[in-house]
Chain A
Amino acid sequence: MKRWLCMLAALFLLAALPAAVSAAPPAHNYDCSDTTPTAYDAQVDQAAMGYSSSSSMNAHASTAYSTFRSDAIFFFNGHGLYYDDSHKGGGIKFSSESWILADTDGHYPGNDQYYIADYGTDIRDVLLAVYLACYSSHDNQYNGDLLQQTMNKGADICLGFDGEVEVENGKCWSGNFWDRVRNGETVASAASNAKDDCYWHWPIGYWGVDTYEISGSYNSYLTPARYGIY
């Protein structure tokens, strides 16, 4: 009788295991320029924090836009929108000239555009969105403000840059940022300390990573793994 009970308990545990695994909040990471392996490195750090994380290179915007709906964490490293000196920010570029944009007011970059403004309550579960791209936190009168729009749609925390960031320092910042949040720093502390981590790497200087801007609950930790509050 005891043996049967043990077997039954083991079966229950086995059945519950996939449910527990799939219950981990998802995190998607995208490298969309010569930025590898930042998405993979972020994935590893997020997995260590208990997120069900994945990474990809050169994804199409449609994929990222679609999976954003289920994400707790969204991380992009690639090009930001720069139409001209007076109209920059508001968009991030994916493969095949596809873009995720905050909004539009008459400018349609590339071949395919997907708008954060078109989400209803779809991304209200997002805990953190990180847009590592040139001017990703800059308000563009043509295409809006990515951080503001993401926050308007219910994300808890959103991070972008209001300056020119280049590939190598972007990689440096990303690696250190995710490592630091994994080791228990708040989003704000990790963002700030990661910029200093980059300062003394060659060539000496911040090279734009000091222009990070955070909207929302900047003093939050990413552990325990969870969705955003809605």
Chain B
Amino acid sequence: MKWIPITAIICIVIAVSVAAAAGINAPIGVDTAKEKAQDFLNAPDATVQYQKTERLNQGEYYVFGIGGGQVYVNAHTGAVERATFDSARKDSHEIRLDQAAAEAAARAYAEEKYSGFAEKSMRLIESNLVSHGDAGSEYLYIWREEKNGVLTPNTVVVNVNPGTGEIVSYIGIRREIKCPLEPALSRDEALKVAAGEFPGIRVTGATADLSVEYTRPDAQTLTWVVTMKGEPEGDVLQGGLVVIDARAGEVLMVSPYL
């Protein structure tokens, strides 16, 4: 009869383990997410209004309005992965910050808000002053993590108001890489596949980057992201964007230029 308490204990242990495992992936709930948003804003009393829950390929988000802006909190990790500050767009017509000062502001913000920014191999892949016409301008900084020559989904984007130095928007995604990083398709093979999607164009330039993308919900895929530009025909630019599964060789997206 000794086996009865032993079996019961084993059952309890299994049940607790399963519950704990499930808890890892359970949504944190709106109230906890709201606190995370307030922490991110360094304003525990900030008015944060729940708007919606949004499900995207790379994750599920609780979206909060912050009175002239939004904060996206990852529903499972609690990390704030996006924030926009509409009021920070004011006075962005006059360029008072030079490129170096703007980059320093963007980098400082990234280091403060993105856990592990300094330790990761984050490469600055784009830094531009972008004009939006009468709506002003913004400095745009994009970092992507690079591993073995592959761009991962770990990315930080910071937009800075060139007039005031205020942060206009932030995106910071941090994920564990779960897919193999060795392509079966070479760069040349990827370019050949992409060229096949735009038959007859006279190619004037092409780029190809290995990139881990969330092509389906919660599923990472190693891809070749190819841009192919051709000479215009009929007064229209030829070519476009092609995404290829770098291991299976399957074309996942063909998106011609408008």
Contacts and interface: CB of A to CB of B under 8 A. Distances in A.
Contacts of B215: 202
Interface residues of B, number: 45
B50 interface: no
9 contacts: A81-B236, A93-B236, A162-B131, A185-B86, A191-B132, A196-B84, A196-B169, A203-B243, A213-B133
B93 to A, nearest CB: 11
Majority-rule SS of B interface residues:
strand
Nearest to A190: B86
Contacts, number: 137
A144 to B, nearest CB: 14
A204 B164 CA distance: 28
B236 A214 contact: no
Given A214-B135, A218-B135, A200 B171 contact: yes
- Among all A-B residue pairs, the 10 with the closest Cβ atoms: A213-B133, A168-B255, A109-B235, A82-B237, A218-B135, A202-B213, A166-B255, A214-B135, A188-B135, A203-B225
A80 B256 CA distance: 12
A75 to B, nearest CB: 13
A191 B84 contact: no
A167 B132 contact: no
Chain A's interface: helix, strand, loop or mixed, by majority?
mixed
B253 A203 contact: yes
Contacts of A165: 257-258
A83 interface: yes
Nearest to B215: A202
B214 interface: yes
B132 A166 contact: no
A213 B135 CA distance: 7
B57 A202 contact: yes
A164 B135 contact: no
Nearest to A193: B84
B36 interface: no
Interface string A181-215: 00001101101110010011111110100111111
Given A193-B70, A196-B84, A204 B153 contact: yes
Given A168-B253, A210-B140, 15 more contacts: A80-B237, A84-B232, A91-B235, A147-B133, A166-B258, A168-B241, A192-B132, A193-B84, A196-B84, A200-B171, A202-B57, A203-B213, A211-B130, A213-B132, A213-B133
